[in-house]
Amino acid sequence: MQDSYLTPSEIAKKYLDIGRQKADYSVIKQFVLGTMAGIFLSLACQGTSQLTHTIASESIAKVIAGLLFPGGLILIVITGSELFTGNCLLILACAKKHIKIRSMFRSLAVVYLGNMAGSIIIAALIVNSGQLDFSGGALGAYTIKVAVNKTNLDFVRAFIMGILCNMLVCAAVWIAAAAKDITGKILAIFFPICLFVTSGFEHSIANMYYIPAGIFAKSNPLWSSLAISAGVTHEQLSSLNTGSFLLNNLLPVTLGNFIGGTVLIGLVYYFLYLKDHKA
């Protein structure tokens, strides 16, 4: 064992204990921890929107968002909250038969619903706080435009961008598990998450804030009119609803996040470090 960090094989073995611990949480505890994760990540989403909504260059806006957004996952990891995307690494304990597959899916489902609850709470609070009046309502218009863009993604594109996103999120969580101090965990999380945000990949839990916030915001006449002036069509505005949120974005992105986290990170490292390991 290294003095300041765990080796990859040690991280894999550590995740067997982490998986058992997470699976043993009560449903209520998993849901509340999931709600807190949704709250923290949504606050990071709002912070990035606040910072980037007046920046004309999309590339510069993504870079700036990438510098701020990792704070959401840092809060989640350090406080011990539960995030669906990171919890896809439960597949290691499941593949090693330390937890049952139904326990893994139950945990993922409960945390997912908790993440959604926390995200929608923050979306409602932000919209009703008047925060979106910032820059003469430009932040409200930007919030609507982001939601419209996300609900108009092609299914396959959203699915693939979900895969790519959660490969980086789970890599960040994996690397953070190697660190033995808070500074190391923060640095481990920062760069992969910055990379996924700058690349514009799709994160299902972040979208649980972005799209509901846009749906809530479109009821404000000023924000809607400014969004139309910014290029959102009347048809796109009218089709921004719960159905387009769930079917056009959340479904493909969630499936992509699950595949990226469980198969392309979790099962790969299970094969490399745990498959032939004897307890």
pLDDT in tens, 90-123: 999 999 999 999 999 999 999 999 999 999 999 9
Among 29, 44, 35, CA closest to 203:
44
3-state secondary structure of 198: helix
pLDDT in tens, 149-203: 999 999 999 999 999 999 999 999 999 999 999 999 999 999 999 999 999 999 9
Query: What does the block give as tokens for 239?
Result: 């089709």
Mean pLDDT along residues 15-42: 96
Among 117, 52, 89, CA closest to 262:
89
Mean pLDDT along residues 24-48: 98
Domains of the chain: total: 1
Q: Is position 75 within any domain?
A: yes
Q: Is position 1 within any domain?
A: no
Q: Is position 239 within any domain?
A: yes
Among 154, 190, 156, 155, CA closest to 172:
190
pLDDT given at position 276: 77
SS3 helix, strand, coil % of the chain, rounded to 5?
Answer: 80, 0, 20
pLDDT in tens, 193-251: 999 999 999 999 999 999 999 999 999 999 999 999 999 999 999 999 999 999 999 99
Q: DSSP code of 125?
A: H
- What rounded mean pLDDT belongs to the chain? 96
Q: Is position 237 within any domain?
A: yes
| Number of residues that make up the chain | 279
Helical ranges in 69-100 per DSSP H: 70-79, 91-95
Return the CATH number at 23. 1.20.1080.10
Do 155 and 250 touch, CB atoms closer than 8 A? Answer: no
Mean pLDDT along residues 140-144: 98
Cα(229)–Cα(121) distance, integer angstroms: 28
**20 Cβ neighbours under 8 A, 6+ residues apart:** 93, 98, 99
pLDDT given at position 278: 59
Binning pLDDT at 50, 70 and 90, where does residue 81 land?
Answer: very high
Mean pLDDT along residues 269-278: 85
Q: Is position 279 within any domain?
A: no
pLDDT given at position 228: 97
Q: Is this prediction's pTM over 0.75?
A: yes
Q: The domain containing residue 46 runs over which residues?
A: 8-273
Backbone angles phi, psi at 5, to 5 degrees: -155, 165
